[in-house]
Amino acid sequence: MKKFFNLFLIFFMPLSILFTALAVVYYSIDFEFSKSIKLGILTGVLSSLIFSIIITPTILILRVVRSKKAHTEILSADSHNVSKAFIQKPIVYESKTPSTQKNEMSIAISKPDLIEEKLMLLMDNELAYEVSLASVNHQKIGNIIYKNKEEGVILIRTEEREIKMHITSLTKHTAQVLITTTIDNSNIKNIISMLKEKEHSFLQY
C-alpha cells in the first residue's frame, strides 16, 4: 500500500498542475478569469485523480510481472547447471630394460569429482555477499574458516568436505554466486534455496 501511495503522488502532483493550467486556458475563453480558475482547478484535480488511479496500479502490476519473469529465468538457468567432474586417468610407467637400470613403476593419480553450482542474483555484488554469508550462518552448515568481502570468497568446512562460495559482479545490479565442493550433498541445495528466498524477499521489498 505504501508503494501505491508513493507512486500515486508521483503522478498526481505534476498532472494536477498540467491539467489545471490547460483547463484554465480553456475555460478563460468563455468565462471570466476568476471563474475559469475555479473551474480549471476543479477539472485539473479530478482529471489527474482519475488518470493517476488508472495508471498507478497498471505500473505496479507490470513491476510484479517483470520480477516474476526474472525469477523464472533464474530458476530455468539453475535447472541447466551441469556438475563438472575432472578425473585424471592413472599414469602407468612401463618397466624398462635391464640396461636402463630402472624398476617398474605404476603411479595412479585420481582427483575427486568437483561439483559446481552457479546462481545469478538480482542484486549488487556487495549485497549478494552479505546475503550469502547470512544464508550460511542461518543454515548452520559448518564452520566458516575464511571470508573476504573484497574477494567475494566464503570458505566453509563441514564434516564431509569443504564448500567454497565465490561471489562476483555480473552487472551493476546483478551478481553471480559460484558454489564449489567435492561432494554433492544437501548443503548446497539448502544454500541455493535460502539464497533464492532472500532474493525473492529483496525483490518484493
Choose among 141, 154, 130: nearest CA to 188: 141
pLDDT of residue 74: 58
Q: Is the pLDDT of residue 85 over 50?
A: no
* pLDDT 10s digits, 47-71: 888 988 888 888 888 877 877 776 6
Amino acid at site 137: N
Q: Is the pLDDT of residue 107 over 70?
A: no
Number of residues in the chain = 205
Grid coordinates of 81:
547447471
Report field, pTM of the whole predicted structure over 0.85: no
The answer to whether the CB of 84 falls within 8 A of the CB of 63 is no
* pLDDT 10s digits, 8-24: 778 788 888 888 888 88
Beta pairing partners, 38: none
Choose among 167, 158, 155: nearest CA to 185: 158
**C-alpha radius of gyration, the chain, whole number:** 31
CA distance 72 to 139: 24
* pLDDT 10s digits, 120-171: 888 888 888 888 888 888 877 778 888 888 888 988 888 777 888 899 988 8
Phi/psi region, residue 163 (left: phi>0; alpha: psi -120 to 50; beta: rest), is beta
Q: Find all residues with CB under 8 Å of 203, minimum gap 6, and list them.
A: 67, 70, 71, 122
CA distance 122 to 196: 10
Arithmetic mean of pLDDT over the chain: 75
